[in-house]
Homo-oligomer: A and B are copies of this chain.
Amino acid sequence: MIVSIIGVGLIGGSIALDLKKAGLAKQTFGVDRSEVNLQKAVELNIIDKGVSLDEACQISDLIILATPVSVASDILIEILDFIKTGTIILDVGSVKGAICKAIANHPKRKQFVACHPIAGTEFSGPEAAFTGLFQGKINIICNQEESDKEAVQKVKHLFEQMGSTNIFMDSSTHDKHITYVSHLSHITSFALSLTVQALEKDEKNIFNMAGSGFESTVRLAKSSADMWVPIFQANKEHMIAAIDAYINEMKRLKSFIENNENEKMQASIEQANNIRKIL
């Protein structure tokens, strides 16, 4: 199978490495707006060489669309316009409603399988890619009934080969839930980093006094702006609702401190502790 990766970063690169290792990709090509990234990806044996999007469409059996979500829909339309019958495209974006809507009526819609592998790190770019990123992780396939059955089977198999379990969901359910268990975590972490930096001019104090708790809570604040600005924008409505709910919760907890309502705070923390049962 000839595989092309559009956007040779952490996710696209890691898929390429896994497919090579599993013997599923005979050749891997990369498309990226950054020549530097393409060169690095070749050096790191992620791709055999960089090609144009047109070339990728002509030669590939499988195309992995792994760009920021802001440009994914437009590139997907371009790809669908050009690819030959039988080529499968999957994407890996964190927001699924917009992209599914953008190509809903495209004559080659069925060749596309909308995916969201729940995997990643706070690092980005081809240097961040590694074999095994998807091992033990979940891959969410959205709106499977809009895709060719055989294409879905192939994509399922592919993620299984990388060690992932596939689950199925419609794109709007996906976007709502993922807001709370992923996007909200990122914005709270960015805000924490900014707040602490603004108030703690003396970086040495932060470094000395920060324990593993702060490190854990602020880890996602290291995440790439190029990836997250488009996600927040593409998932705007859900983000605003989630942030509002979260700010209200913060205000409620603050009022317990302000008014010495220790019993209410105790009950709230015990309720928060229930996350133990879930995770």
Contact = CB atoms under 8 A, between A and B. Distances in A.
A239 to B, nearest CB: 5
A125 interface: no
A197 B229 CA distance: 25
A258 interface: yes
Which of A207, A209, A277 gathers the greatest number of chain B CB atoms within 10 Å? A209
Interface residues of A, number: 92
A270 interface: yes
Nearest to A279: B215
Given A233-B260, A266-B229, A276-B222, A253 B190 contact: yes
Contacts of A36: none
A24 interface: no
Nearest to A239: B257
Contact of A220 (B195, B206, B216, B233): B216
B222 A273 contact: yes
A167 B276 contact: no
Interface in A112-131: 118-122
Instruction: Tell me how many chains of this kind the complex includes.
Output: 2
B222 A205 contact: no
Main SS class of interface, A: helix
A250 B180 contact: no
A254 B179 CA distance: 14
A236 B224 CA distance: 34
Given A211-B181, A278-B203, A191 B271 contact: no
B242 A214 contact: no
A159 interface: no
Given A194-B268, A208-B167, A265-B229, A250 B216 contact: no
B253 A120 contact: no
A230 to B, nearest CB: 8
A32 B223 CA distance: 44
A214 to B, nearest CB: 5
A120 B220 contact: no
